[in-house]
Amino acid sequence: MDNKRIYLDHAATTPVAKEVFEAMLPYFSERYGNASSLHSFGQEAKDALEESRERIAKRMNSGAEEIIFTSGGTESNNLALKGIAARKGKGHIITSKIEHASILAPCRELVNQGFSVTYLDVDEYGLVDPGDVAGALREDTILVSIGHANNEVGTVQDIGEIGKITREKGVLLHTDACQSFTKEELDVKKQCLDLVSINAHKIHGPKGVGALYIREGVKIIPQSQGGEHEKNIRAGTENVAGIVGFAKAAEITGGKQVGYMKGLRDQLIKGVLSGVEGVRLNGHPEKRLCNNANYGFEGIEGEALLLRLDMRGVACSTGSACSSRSLMPSHVLLALGLKPEECHGSLRATLGMENTKEEIDYAIQAIKEEVSNLRGISPFWKRKQ
């Protein structure tokens, strides 16, 4: 085996792009000022911070003053949910069963505090029916939080349709757009969004930086205190280098790359579905992220497949119970209606703009061979035939 390494786990994180890295560099040892300082060092940092804010705002058609920088998607989601809940004091929240843990865990916490939460079902492809959102709205509903695109199966929600409903009823809508940012259309005005979580490291930016869009006029209670940073909403010295990198990443991703990644994704999906028996595609056939492929293989277990592929240099991920500390299968796959035994054989491959057609060919071949090798060990596969 050669030493080829192919990274197909971009939904977990992405490599920092060269341009991003270079844009960040001066902000470590040259322009290292604290953006809150009044001297020239501080003002340099402040300028970079505000310029970055404008560049990021542009990518979602928001005002720069509506962008609050955070440490990443998890903090943004926590701030949105807990910040709105604290402001309202009581009430009802609507979310879905396939949200990221950084939505579901705060929801559980809010239930403990006396809020009520409705977890909407999704269809077999992972789509939330906007009609279900309308149907779940109550007099006391304070917030709807539906992720724009799912991190595991890549299903993209019709967030604009949901936005029309919530805006008409005067209920706030939050969306976690960490997976979709710069890949799918995001326009806070057109889609009637009130709060949006995004982060840098899913779009070839650095880890540890994200943002929350908060529509002007929406009041939120800070979840960290001790400074006047970020309009008093998020205390703490801003990560200027990270934020500069984030803005650069937001500018250089998307566009033509989306079509390129779609081509690779379709190659990856078709190559495996046509070359392997007993496999299904998890997620929506069309309404899916340009970089997501998620398969369910019968007769094998995902962690074993992941490790076999890793030994061949192909890095993927799985929703199998065996790969999680809790030994519970993915809540997303279960919500799609998969049986636990079907979840165990799942494999997620998420590609990036730096992958090539040749790499995808190699990955398809490796998947075919390792699925076949593992089925050779499996009693379940033979019994099926």
Point out which residues bind another protein (CB under 8 A): 299-301, 303-304, 307-308, 311, 320-323, 325, 327-329, 334, 339-341, 344, 376-382
The DSSP symbol for 240 reads H
**Strand, coil or helix: what is 242?**
helix
Hey, is 260 helix, strand or coil?
A: helix
Which CB sits closer to another protein, 274 or 385? 385
Q: Name which of 69 and 297 has its Cβ closer to another protein.
A: 297
Structure tokens at 7: 């990274």
Nearer to another protein by C-beta: 82 or 308? Answer: 308
Q: Which two tokens stand for residue 121?
A: 């079902």
Query: In angstroms, rounded to a whole number, what is the distance separating the alpha carbons of residues 346 and 333?
Result: 9
CA distance 203 to 247: 10
Amino acid at 359: E
Residue 136 CA to residue 117 CA, distance in Å, equals 10
State the nearest-atom distance from the C-beta of 301 to another protein, in Å: 5
Asked if 203 contacts 175 with a C-beta cutoff of 8 angstroms, the reply is no
107 catalytic? Reply is no
**Rg for the chain, CA atoms, rounded:** 22
Task: Report d(CA 40, CA 46) in Å as an integer.
Answer: 9
Which residues face 120 on adjacent strands? 96
Give which of 241, 223, 253 is closest to 49, Cα–Cα: 241
Token representation of residue 332: 């997303």
The least CB distance from residue 95 to another protein, in Å, is 22
Token pair for 63: 């005002």
The first and second tokens of residue 13, run together, are 């994180």
Nearer to another protein, 221 or 334 (CB): 334
Minimum CB separation of residue 104 from another protein in Å reads: 17
Q: How far is the CB of 383 from another protein (least distance, A)?
A: 9
**Max Cα-Cα span within the chain:** 74
Quote the least distance from Cβ 106 to another protein, whole Å: 25
Based on CB atoms, which residue is closest to another protein, 339 or 357?
339
Judging by beta carbons within 10 Å of its beta carbon (0-12, 13-18, 19+), is residue 42 exposed, middle or buried?
A: middle
Closest CB 373 distance from another protein, rounded Å: 10
Residue 350: its H or E element: strand 346-350
Q: Say which DSSP state 16 is in.
A: P
Closest alpha carbon to 165 in 202, 116, 128, 123: 128
Closer to another protein by CB, 246 or 381: give it. 381
Catalytic residue among 192, 290, 316, 322: 322
Exposed, middle or buried: residue 23 (CB in 10 Å: 0-12, 13-18, 19+)?
buried
Nearer to another protein (CB atom), residue 232 or residue 324 = 324
Min dist. Cβ of residue 319 to another protein (A): 11
As annotated, the active-site residues are 322
